[in-house]
């Protein structure tokens, strides 16, 4: 009988001790912090323009005046396309903007950032696409008389904005570097 009383006492004691008035919260999901190294700059020279790009990327000519700057570790790339202006500047700008705003259906927001460097005759815009769109950044630059260059960022994965945001931001900074170091050839 003593053992039953002792067991009963222990059960009641443990029940009272284990019940506290503390709020129980679920453990938050952990998120990886992705950081990418800042690479040194390399030169890309073409017959129509030159610029500096991140040496951690691989630059290659894809065809007639189409280039890819790929980032294998990020599974992403910046695709560039060059065209000569032949009285069609307005059409080229409209096509570039239309392509950027085609992502509006999946995007939460599209931020257009104009770029003007009159000393180097570089005029254009960078489009930051926020949300689960296929392309996170697009841009065009021109000298407004002869040269027109467009570019866009794509990842080789299903778009999930929260997951690819660090890589998208990194590539967007590389795009800014490309635009800022771009020089037209005459």
Q: State the Cα–Cα distance between residues 62 and 78, nearest whole angstrom.
A: 12
Domain ranges across the chain: 41-184
Per-residue pLDDT of 47-59, as tens digits, reads: 999 999 999 999 9
**The pLDDT value given to residue 52:** 96
Q: What is the DSSP string of 93-128?
A: HHHHHHHHHGGGGTEEEEEEEEEEEGGGTEEEEEEE
Asked if pLDDT for residue 7 goes beyond 80, the answer is: no
Asked if pLDDT for residue 178 goes beyond 90, the answer is: yes
Which position has the token pair 């890589």?
167
- The superfamily in CATH containing domain 41-184 is Mog1/PsbP, alpha/beta/alpha sandwich (3.40.1000.10)
Q: State the Cα–Cα distance between residues 43 and 53, nearest whole angstrom.
A: 6
The pLDDT-based confidence of 76 (bands split at 50, 70, 90) is very high
What are the DSSP E strand ranges found in 20-75?
A: 41-45, 49-54, 58-63, 66-71
**The pLDDT value given to residue 8:** 75
């Amino acid at each position: 009988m003593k053992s039953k009383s002792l067991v009963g006492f222990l059960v009641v004691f443990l029940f009272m001790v284990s019940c506290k008035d503390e709020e129980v919260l679920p453990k938050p999901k952990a998120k990886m912090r992705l950081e990418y190294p800042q690479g040194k700059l390399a030169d890309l020279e073409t017959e129509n323009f030159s610029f500096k790009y991140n040496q951690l990327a691989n630059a290659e000519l894809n065809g007639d005046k189409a280039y890819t700057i790929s980032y294998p570790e990020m599974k992403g790339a910046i695709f560039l396309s060059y065209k000569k202006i032949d009285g069609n500047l307005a059409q080229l700008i409209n096509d570039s903007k239309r392509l950027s705003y085609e992502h509006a259906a999946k995007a939460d927001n599209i931020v257009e950032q104009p770029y003007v460097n009159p000393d180097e005759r570089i005029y254009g815009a960078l489009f930051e696409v926020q949300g689960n769109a296929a392309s996170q950044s697009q841009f065009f630059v021109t000298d407004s008389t002869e040269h027109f260059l467009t570019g866009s960022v794509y990842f080789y994965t299903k778009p999930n904005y929260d997951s690819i945001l660090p890589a998208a931001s990194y590539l967007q900074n590389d795009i800014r570097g490309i635009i800022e170091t771009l020089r037209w050839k005459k």
